Amino acid sequence: MRKVFRIVFSTLIFLSAFGVYFTNRIMFIKKKDEQLILKREKDAGWLDLGEFQHFRDVSIPSPFGYSIKAHLYEPHATNRYVILAHGVTENKVNSMKYMNLFLKRGFNAVIYDHRRHGESGGKTTSYGHYEKFDLQEVVRWLKKEVGPELQLGIHGESMGAATMLLYAGMLEDGADFYIADCPFSDFKEQLAYRLKEEAKLPPTLFLPIADLFLKLRDRYSLADVSPISVIDNIRNPMLFIHSQHDTYILPTMTEQLFERKKGPKMLYLAINGDHAHSLRENRTDYEKAIDEFLDAYVHYEFDSDNVTGEKLTV
């Protein structure tokens, strides 16, 4: 009997230790050094803003009690704006390469730091669960700033794309168009894939433990972070982008999102590049995909009930 008790006790200790360790990895994921991000983007030539180097610092209150730090770029006398959401471990500097694409196309832009990233507050990273509410506040702030004539797009990369999808699918379809670059379709499936790839652990055994500890420690479930479960609610135009060779978040996740999305949509699968490198490795084709999308769904009014999606062939 004592032997059985010791086995059960040891098992519980092990599973509890795993639960704490794994949720630490999720909630407090190690961020990239900010100076290294800055150097990386400068070396790649993404930070040469030219005449668009002037911006306004903005601090937006989060519903969770901290400040969301943003930069507002307004080089154009226009009501057309885009909000850009970066990926996990990055900061708003990473969004500048995408911002420049839209500045060149006549848009003004807002780039901001997610909670617990860059200059923004917040204690944990939640991969879109809490971040979607922060994005909603950024959208509300911009709509109040610009007024009712605002024409708004949102571009998100990786976690930023998942955050955008959760915002639009769960809170409000509040932008006129969306661009989702390499999102995951379901956080639980993504973690299961990474567990098998990195740790060689069986997800069916360990994910329920992680989920339990996540609920206890950060008050949400893995099932709460599932863009594919809410994408049916998004009716405004969306461009999906993913690299065919992404081994971190598989491109099949974006393909599944594309197939599920109703209304106007396009899909661009980049030939080159790993995760979040579609623009870096396919700049000409990436810009062509954006131009085709904007020409089709943004530069003129469309009937969302009579438009079907298409796959771009760039």
Give the residue extent of every domain in the chain: 32-186+225-311
Evaluate whether 36 touches 43 at the Cβ level (below 8 Å): no
pLDDT band with cut points at 50, 70 and 90 for residue 240: very high
Q: Can you read off the two tokens belonging to residue 282?
A: 């396919």
What would the mean pLDDT of 237-251 be, rounded to a whole number? 98
Evaluate whether 270 touches 282 at the Cβ level (below 8 Å): yes
State residue 304's pLDDT score: 42
State residue 201's pLDDT score: 75
Separation of alpha carbons 242 and 277, rounded Å: 9
- Backbone φ and ψ of 252, nearest 5°: -60, -25
Separation of alpha carbons 156 and 161, rounded Å: 4
State residue 310's pLDDT score: 58
| Closest-CA residue to 261 (of 232, 297, 298) | 232
Q: How do 177-181 and 56-61 pair as beta strands? A: unpaired
State residue 300's pLDDT score: 54
Q: Which sign, positive or negative, has the C-alpha torsion 237, 241, 244, 249?
A: negative
| pLDDT at residue 241 greater than cutoff 60 | yes
State which CATH number among 3.40.50.1820, 3.40.50.880, 3.40.50.300, 1.10.4000.10 fits the domain covering 32-186+225-311. 3.40.50.1820
State residue 199's pLDDT score: 77
- Identity of residue 211: D
250-308 pLDDT, tens digit per residue, is 999 999 999 999 999 999 999 999 999 999 999 999 999 999 999 999 975 444 444 44
- Backbone φ and ψ of 102, nearest 5°: -80, -35
Evaluate whether 139 touches 174 at the Cβ level (below 8 Å): yes
Q: Can you read off the two tokens belonging to residue 69?
A: 């730090």
| pLDDT at residue 5 greater than cutoff 70 | no
**Mean pLDDT of the chain, nearest integer:** 91
| Closest-CA residue to 108 (of 117, 116, 99) | 99
Going by C-beta distance under 8 Å and a sequence separation of 6 or more, which residues neighbour residue 308? 264
Q: Which sign, positive or negative, has the C-alpha torsion 218, 223, 226, 230?
A: negative
State residue 48's pLDDT score: 63
Render 71-125 in DSSP notation, one character per residue. EEE--SSSSEEEEEE--TT--GGGGHHHHHHHHHTT-EEEEEPPTTSTT---S--
What would the mean pLDDT of 29-45 be, rounded to a whole number? 93
State residue 93's pLDDT score: 95
| Closest-CA residue to 124 (of 22, 208, 25) | 25
76-115 pLDDT, tens digit per residue, is 999 999 999 999 999 999 999 999 999 999 999 999 999 9
pLDDT band with cut points at 50, 70 and 90 for residue 144: very high
Element (H, E) at 68: strand 67-73
Helical packing angle, 203-218 and 2-27, nearest 10°: 70
Separation of alpha carbons 246 and 275, rounded Å: 5
Task: Look at residue 241 and give its three-state secondary structure.
Answer: strand
| pLDDT at residue 15 greater than cutoff 70 | yes
162-209 pLDDT, tens digit per residue, is 999 999 999 999 999 999 999 999 999 999 999 888 877 788 888 999
- Identity of residue 279: L
